Amino acid sequence: MTRFRQWAWGLGIATTSAVTAFGVAAWQANAAPTAPTPTVAAEQPRVTDPSPLPEAATGRGSDALTSGEVATARAVALTPQLAAEAEDVTGKAGPEYLSAEVDPEAGGRQAELYFYDYKTEKLVKQVVDLKTGKLAKSFAATGMQPPASEQETKTALELLVADPLGQSLAGMDGLVPTAHIYTAKPADQGASQCGKSRCVQLIVQTEDGEFLSVSEFVVDLSGRTVARLK
């Protein structure tokens, strides 16, 4: 069922009158040599406004992965070996879960799940065939650092607050951290291990909207240390 928002276009009557107005003006232009240039109100036409559908259990084709598909894929991707041998950002057993995306070019429904293993400093990619519910392929490599998870961002802020360099922060209350992945640049003096190690640059916003630090601090999540750039 399609419904239109009333504020978007009145009740559709305006559409009719606008079209009619143009039709008349155009007709006049055809008939009379000195007809005025037709004017069309530059009103915004409506688009459809479908009611949101409940989330499907499974997606189709290039649809984003549904939460059900992600849950299924995570269960398959987290093999007993990975669960036992890998470590997350807090040092617990099991890899740090980062992201899940659909691969529509794979032909069926395939989920690509990314994890970071802090024990081996490897990015792990698990490809799950959602039709069969089986792990289709598995890859791992060092030196690859996709964006941080929420848990990694929180951990980075905790490390900064606990560090002498973060003494200006009076606890974590009300702070909103943003964690950019940081890869060491050639001229980097303070955190040259970053890239091989998993590091983030923290931008911290306080409750009143102020930003506390910009690029000064780099938190090495692998080494659990805080460095100051410059």
Partner 1 sequence: MSYRKLVGATALLTVALLGAAVPAGAQAAPALPCSAASTVKEKLPNGTTWQLCWRIHDKAGLMLEKVFVSTKLNPQPVQVLDSIRLAQLHVPYDTGDMEFDDLTDLGMGGYFLETLDGDDCQGGSARVGSDGSGDPQLRKVLCVSAEPSGLAYRGREQNWDENGETSVLSSKQGHDLVLRTISKLSWYEYVTEFRLHDDGQISARLGATGDLAPETEADAARGWPIGKGADYKATMHYHNAFWRVDFNLDGKGGERVDQYDTTLDGRGEMTAKLKTTRTAIAKEGTFSKVNQRWWRVTSQSSKNTDGHPRSYELVTGGDDRYEGHPETKPDVTFSQKNPCDKYASGNASDPECPVDNRTVLDFVKDKEKMTDPVMWVRVGFHHVPRDEDQSPMPMHWQGFDLVPRDFTAMNQLTPDERAGENGNPQPEPSDEPSEPVPSSAQPVPSGAGG
Residue list 171-190, contact with partner 1 (CB under 8 A): 178-183
Q: Which of 78, 82, 88, 97 binds partner 1 (CB under 8 A)?
A: 97
Q: Does 120 bind partner 1 (CB under 8 A)?
A: no
In this complex, which beta carbon is closest to partner 1, that of residue 138 or of residue 225? 138
Q: Which of 5, 80, 207, 208 binds partner 1 (CB under 8 A)?
A: 5
Q: With CB under 8 A as the contact rule, which of the stretches 81-89, 157-165, 166-174, 211-219 interacts with partner 1? A: 211-219
In this complex, which beta carbon is closest to partner 1, that of residue 167 or of residue 215? 215
Q: Which of 83, 93, 141, 170 binds partner 1 (CB under 8 A)?
A: 141
Closest CB 72 distance from partner 1, rounded Å: 13
Closest CB 108 distance from partner 1, rounded Å: 11
Q: Does 137 bind partner 1 (CB under 8 A)?
A: yes
Closest CB 11 distance from partner 1, rounded Å: 15
Q: Which of 79, 120, 192, 205 binds partner 1 (CB under 8 A)?
A: 205
Closest CB 79 distance from partner 1, rounded Å: 15
Q: With CB under 8 A as the contact rule, which of the stretches 6-14, 154-162, 166-174, 217-225 interacts with partner 1? A: 6-14
SS (H, E, C) the chain: CECCCHHHHCCCHHHHHHHHHHHHHHHHHHHCCCCCCCCCCCCCCCCCCECCCCCCCCCCCCCCCCHHHHHHHHHHHCCHHHHHHCECCCCCECCEEEEEEECHHHCCCEEEEEEEECCCCEEEEEEEECCCCEEEEEEEEECCCCCCCHHHHHHHHHHHHHCHHHCCCCCCCCCEEEEEEECCCCCCCCCCCECCECEEEEEEECCCCCECCCCCEEEECCCCEEEECC
Q: Could you give the CA distance from residue 213 to residue 224 in angstroms, rounded to a whole number?
A: 19
Q: Which of 42, 186, 207, 208 binds partner 1 (CB under 8 A)?
A: 42
**Per-residue CA distances from 99 to 126, 132, 135 (Å):** 11, 21, 16
